[in-house]
């Protein structure tokens, strides 16, 4: 019997970003995509021979913010041994395996897989100094693309929309925020993210209120309300609010600060 798949999803991922005010129709459509992702799509991944499915970004072939993994004691122990050896170089990578172009040359003939890899900063600069290169993202590239030889049954990128529809996998997308552009961070200005707080959908409101009963959720909810207060008024909040926001070190639209910063990548998931 196969072990269940695990969804690894970091806290800088949000399926509701840039929604049109969370209308009832939009919520229903998003709910259907989520159900498909967690049933049909996930079941398809569990039945497949792939151990991991992940997306690339501009820095690395494997962005660890959104990925699907199957439990593997062999991979886990191999990763521990790599970390225990503590051998890493920004030019040669883990275990001094070589530059990215040297370490991944066996994938040149892999077609679409190589196309994704070849577009990354890691290959263009030909070093391991990309974001997370000395940590999780570099380690996963080493484990799943170098040591495993990235055979297609072992590793997979999410397919394109057309192929996903043909295979009945669904097309659920999440938004993965860039490193310095998390909307909940104090310096970030991203008013669109907080539109979900303006809805009047009773069922969603009751779900949010239930979640806020949790201590951690209550903390996040208070933070969101504080940020929304500073970002809700354009071109600028009133002077007392500006003073309050600056004291709290929260981004706002006071003075000439009119630009919004909420960058990231849309990622397909099963």
Over residues 187-195, the mean pLDDT reads: 79
Kindly state whether residue 193 falls inside one of the protein's structural domains.
yes
pLDDT in tens, 38-75: 777 777 778 777 778 777 888 888 888 778 888 888 88
pLDDT surpasses 90 at 181: no
Would you say the pTM of this structure is higher than 0.85? no
Rounded (5°) CA angle 186-12-67: 165
Query: Does a structural domain hold residue 85?
Result: yes
171 assigned to some structural domain: no
Give domain status of residue 174, yes or no: no
173 within a domain of the structure (yes/no): no
Per-residue pLDDT tens for 98-121?
A: 999 999 988 888 777 788 888 899
132/235 same-domain check: no
More confident residue, 10 or 155: 155
Kindly state whether residues 31 and 155 are assigned to the same domain.
yes
Q: Is the pLDDT of residue 33 over 60?
A: yes
Q: Are residues 158 and 205 in the same domain?
A: no
Which residue segment(s) compose the domain that 40 sits in? 6-166
User: Given 118, 143, 166, which residue is the final one in a domain?
Assistant: 166
Flag whether 270 is in a domain: no
258-269: average pLDDT:
69
Band the pLDDT of 265: cuts 50, 70, 90. Answer: confident
**Domain end marker among 142, 166, 190:** 166
- Taking alpha carbons only, the member of 82, 123, 87 closest to residue 105 is 123
Residues 6+ apart with CB under 8 A from 154: 49, 50, 51, 52, 144, 148
- Residue 149 shares a structural domain with residue 39: yes
138 vs 20 pLDDT, higher one: 138
Using CA atoms, how far apart are residues 194 and 212, in angstroms rounded to an integer? 16
Q: Is residue 172 part of a domain?
A: no
Residue 183 and residue 124 share a domain: no
pLDDT at residue 243 tops 70: yes
Tell me what the mean pLDDT of segment 179-208 comes to: 69
Confidence of residue 2 (pLDDT cuts 50, 70, 90): very low
Same domain, 66 and 156: yes
pLDDT for residue 152 is more than 70: no
Number of domains in the chain: 2
Do 10 and 72 lie in one domain? The reply is yes
Residues 10 and 102 in one domain: yes
- Angle 239-247/215-231 helices, nearest 10 degrees? 140
CA–CA distance, 86 with 109 (Å, rounded to integer): 31
Regarding whether 188 and 140 lie in a shared domain, the answer is no
Instruction: Tell me what the mean pLDDT of segment 132-144 comes to.
Output: 92
Do residues 159 and 98 share a domain?
Answer: yes
Residue 88: which pLDDT band, with cuts at 50, 70 and 90?
A: very high
pLDDT score at 1: 36
Q: What is the pLDDT of residues 9-30, one digit of tens each?
A: 446 777 765 554 556 677 677 7
**The residue to which tokens 């994938």 are assigned:** 107
Greater pLDDT, 16 or 142: 142
Whether the pLDDT of residue 31 is over 60: the answer is yes
My answer on whether 38 and 90 are in the same domain is: yes
pLDDT, the chain, mean:
76
Query: Where is the domain boundary, 166, 187, 221?
Result: 166
pLDDT value at residue 153:
47
In what helix (H) or strand (E) does residue 147 lie, and over which residues does it extend? Answer: none
Estimate the crossing angle of helix 215-231 against helix 202-212, to 10 degrees: 120
Q: Do both 131 and 221 map to the same domain?
A: no
73 inside domain: yes
């Amino acid at each position: 019997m196969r072990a269940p798949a695990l969804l690894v999803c970091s806290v800088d991922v949000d399926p509701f970003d840039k929604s049109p005010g969370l209308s009832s129709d939009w919520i229903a459509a998003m709910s259907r995509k989520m159900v498909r992702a967690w049933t049909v799509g996930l079941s398809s991944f569990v039945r497949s021979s792939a151990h991991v499915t992940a997306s690339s970004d501009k820095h690395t072939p494997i962005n660890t913010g959104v990925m699907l993994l199957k439990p593997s004691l062999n991979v886990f122990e191999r990763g521990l041994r790599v970390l225990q050896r503590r051998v890493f170089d920004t030019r040669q990578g883990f275990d001094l395996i070589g530059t990215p172009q040297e370490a991944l040359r066996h994938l040149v003939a892999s077609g679409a897989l190589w196309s994704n890899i070849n577009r990354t900063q890691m290959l263009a600069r030909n070093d391991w100094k990309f974001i997370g290169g000395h940590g999780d993202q570099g380690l996963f590239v080493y484990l799943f693309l170098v040591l495993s030889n990235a055979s297609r049954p072992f590793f997979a990128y999410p397919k394109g929309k057309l192929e996903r529809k043909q295979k009945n996998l669904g097309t659920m997308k999440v938004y993965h925020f860039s490193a310095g552009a998390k909307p909940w961070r104090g310096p970030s200005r991203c008013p669109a993210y907080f539109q979900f707080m303006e809805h009047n959908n009773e069922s969603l409101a009751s779900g949010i209120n239930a979640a806020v009963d949790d201590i951690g959720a209550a903390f996040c909810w208070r933070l969101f309300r504080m940020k929304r207060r500073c970002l809700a008024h354009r071109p600028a909040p009133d002077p007392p609010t500006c003073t309050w926001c600056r004291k709290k070190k929260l981004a706002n639209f006071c003075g000439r600060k009119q630009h919004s910063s909420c960058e990231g990548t849309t990622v397909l998931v099963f």
